[in-house]
Amino acid sequence: MVGTEKECLFLVQGSAFKVNRRPLNIIYPEGTEINYQPHVDMKTVDNTIVPWLCSQSDMLSEDWIVVE
């Protein structure tokens, strides 16, 4: 992830965890292993993190920059 004052996107790698709190323990028994799929999050200008889903125009844009 780059940038400290601007918005940016980053890939959250997949992982696995065991259910231990709400709201998942309402749906699954405590201790159930959940596979958390990879997804994209966005860092907002107010330094919060939110899930992000790209639109068709986002995907087809040619101004993406990849930072490794």
pLDDT in tens, 1-38: 444 568 889 999 999 999 999 999 999 999 999 999 99
**Structure confidence by residue, pLDDT tens digits, 43-65:** 999 999 999 998 999 889 998 88
pLDDT of residue 16: 97
The overall pTM is greater than 0.85: no
Quote the pLDDT of residue 4: 54
| Amino acid at residue number 24 | L
Residue 51: name the closest of 66, 36, 61 by CA.
36
Tell me, what's the pLDDT at 3?
46
